[in-house]
Structure 1
Amino acid sequence: MCKIEHRRTAIKPYAGAAGEARPAHGPPIQDSSMPATAPLADRLELPVVGSPLFIVSGPELVIAQCKAGVVGSFPALNARPVHVLDEWLTRIRGELGDYAARHPEKKVAPFAVNQICHASNDRLMQDMELCVKHEVPIIITSLRPPAEIVEAAHSYGGVVFHDVINVKHARKAAEQGVDGLILVCAGAGGHAGTLSPFALVREVKQWFGGTVLLSGAISDGWGIAGALALGADLAYMGTRFVATAEANADAAYKQALMDYAAHHIVYTNLFTGVHGNYLGPSIAAAGLDPDNLPVADKTKMNFGSGGNMKSKAWRDIWGCGQGIGQITDAPAVAELVERLKREFAEACDGFTRRAGRAA
């Protein structure tokens, strides 16, 4: 259970303008005979969720992703102060609703909000109340999967996906009723685990019947196809969307993603207390030695302002995944998604041909 000391009141389901509570909708049935992504399938051009990117993800990026047919998301803490979150949610829902009405032939994806469930996040309950008010379709929880967040999302028909780096954390999240597990494997940008997706996905699939999302070095359509071939329902992509026109990232950050490759990435817990992958040259630019970084005190984790140090993740220290070797440009999101769709189709066709020859 997430321990938020300043406020322990329950999150109340949103009531409509007339004061009547909206009818509750239960979570998707976790039945292996039904595709886990059934509620999303008809609204996606690609089986992709754009991961929430600290600082980088704002309304412009989220709206562009959803219009292109992939789930767009952002951390609630990107909207500062709290009232800005209300404004962002109003804008995102309004623009996507208008776009869908004007383009009924388009698949407009749902959006997601990421909640950091840690004692250093003193906004969690306020932010979640706003998510209930706006009926955010997908809540992504990180660190701890509090049952009250799941209950609040389910009260209006929302779903909760929780990110994990190992089976122990995955089981704890499943016990609290999450609808999906985001398996953050080796090579993922930002906070990431060390397990191979071949190990983690296959082990979790043995006992979990909900939606499985795979994160870790996925930067093109072949990576998306590979995630599905392994058994995941959705690919979870972050770094590739940093290098897009709509991303709220410094131009130097975007250029660095094009200039460097996997061997430039450093895995450290120095900046937030949790291990993650960061671009070595950005660490060096901050006056630190990427090859000789101290180990942080995990008990002093702080996510509200990008970490505990003067050099902040992800403002100064740039998070990125090992898939940056495939990034060569920073196009508009719509252009990127169209490219990913072509690559995905090519990868699927190629797999079918090779599998046929091997049969």
Structure 2
Amino acid sequence: MPTIDPLSRFRDRLSLPLIAAPMFLVSGVELVVAACRNGVIGSFPTVNCRSPEQLDEWLSEIESRLRRHSDETGKPAAPVCANLIVHRSNARLEQDLQVLLRHKPEMVITSVGSPAPVLKPLHDAGAIVLADVASIRHAERAVAAGADGLVLLTAGAGGQTGWLNPFVFVRAVRAFFDGPLVLAGGISDGHALRAAQALGCDLAYMGTKFIATRESMADSRYKDMLVASSADDILLTTAFTGLQTNMLRPSIEAAGLDPDDLPARGAIDIGKDIDIGARENRPKRWKDIWSGGHSTSGVTEVLSVDEMIARTVAEYRAADLRLR
């Protein structure tokens, strides 16, 4: 373990060692607030906001509502965690960064590139910076750049995903890094969350199950499709983003496409809704064709965030007792 635990400042504010994963077009104010007031780190991609001005509005509203919750309950909420896309295609990166700095974030996750360009200003503002990585080589680079912790994207994570087995990935990274690790991929309940800790992780992402909550911004048809689907309905493809991405086969079929006969590789254009074909009336990724992780098998109904986290807490406690 590290001499100084970067997460120690807010561990006592967590009901679970869990992050509600940042999901494009899904994570918004309602989902983040509900997660945080239930003791789960609430995260969202800054590109979910239409502009830096709206990002400022979102953060202000989230902070105000969580302060009110803390005043009413006497219990501090879990941290809010913004997700910055650091890929060069994100034209808003510098503007969004400046907005975050004004709000003094406790934690920030960087995605799709090296965290190096944003580390110093975020550290100066007091933030813990986690970098998401999909390979051992990228993990080594993020640690060398100075990231405080790593989000390990493993096989089974929804959306743009990793390809390594989580057991192998976590243990390989633990061989050279003793800072915070977050496991992303396949966390469908409290038992899986406890297993992630036993493996050597400090926290885990839960994404797909949070899509199917009343507070998420996802289309109701998307939520119902997750309930009706299982891990067998997840397709790993590069057709829609150019990167390995886990998508729901039923949504591909509903869009009039054949999941078994897709283009080999799509255009990489992070954070935008791009037409799959040349015509404007073709279905768009994320809005018409939806992602999901292997944990889709754990989605059995649409719940409120309160209900979903309460169930996860009970499962986590049961798993903990079983291991003793």
TM bucket normalised to smaller: over 0.9
* Superposed counterparts of 1:96-245, under 5 Å: 96-104=66-74, 106-245=75-214
* Superposed counterparts of 1:292-303, under 5 Å: 292-296=261-265, 300-303=267-270
Structure 2, unmatched stretches of 5+, are: 277-281
Structure 1, unmatched stretches of 5+, are: 1-30, 353-359
Q: TM-score, normalised by structure 2?
A: 0.95
Equivalence for 2:279: none
Distance 1:114 1:307, change over 3 A: farther
The letter for the 2-side match of 1:260 is: S
**Alignment of 1:44 onto 2:14:** yes
Q: Give the Cα separation in 1 of the matches to 2:214 and 2:187.
A: 19
Deviation at 1:83, TM superposition (A): 1.1
Q: Give the Cα separation in 2 of the matches to 1:39 and 1:51.
A: 20
Equivalent residue for 2:238, pick from 264, 269, 272 = 269
The letter for the 2-side match of 1:315 is: K
Equivalent residue for 2:291, pick from 314, 319, 323 = 319
1:235-262 residue CA offsets vs partner (Å, 9 max, x unmatched): 1111010010100111111111110101
The residue matched to 1:306 in structure 2 has which SS? coil
Q: Give the Cα separation in 2 of the matches to 1:235 and 1:245.
A: 22
User: Aligned pair count?
Assistant: 319
Contact preservation (8 Å) 1:185, 1:197: yes
Q: Give the Cα separation in 1 of the matches to 2:34 and 2:284.
A: 27
Distance 1:140 1:308, change over 3 A: farther
**Alignment of 1:53 onto 2:30:** no
1:29-55 residue CA offsets vs partner (Å, 9 max, x unmatched): xx5355553233111010000110101
1:237-289 residue CA offsets vs partner (Å, 9 max, x unmatched): 11010010100111111111110101111001111111110000101111211
Structure number with bigger Rg? 1
The CA RMSD over aligned residues, in Å, is 1.4
Higher mean alpha-carbon deviation, 145-154 vs 279-288, is at: 145-154
Contact preservation (8 Å) 2:6, 2:128: no
Contact preservation (8 Å) 1:188, 1:216: yes
Contact preservation (8 Å) 1:55, 1:248: yes
The residue matched to 2:97 in structure 1 has which SS? helix
Q: Give the Cα separation in 2 of the matches to 1:191 and 1:155.
A: 30
Q: Give the Cα separation in 1 of the matches to 2:115 and 2:315.
A: 38
Deviation at 1:335, TM superposition (A): 1.3
1:94-126 residue CA offsets vs partner (Å, 9 max, x unmatched): 11112112211x351001111111122100000
1:107-156 residue CA offsets vs partner (Å, 9 max, x unmatched): 51001111111122100000000000111221111111232311111111
Contact preservation (8 Å) 1:165, 1:185: yes
Q: Give the Cα separation in 1 of the matches to 2:92 and 2:290.
A: 24
Q: Give the Cα separation in 2 of the matches to 1:128 and 1:162.
A: 15
Q: Give the Cα separation in 1 of the matches to 2:264 and 2:129.
A: 32
Equivalence for 1:345: 317
Task: State the percentage of identical aligned residues.
Answer: 42
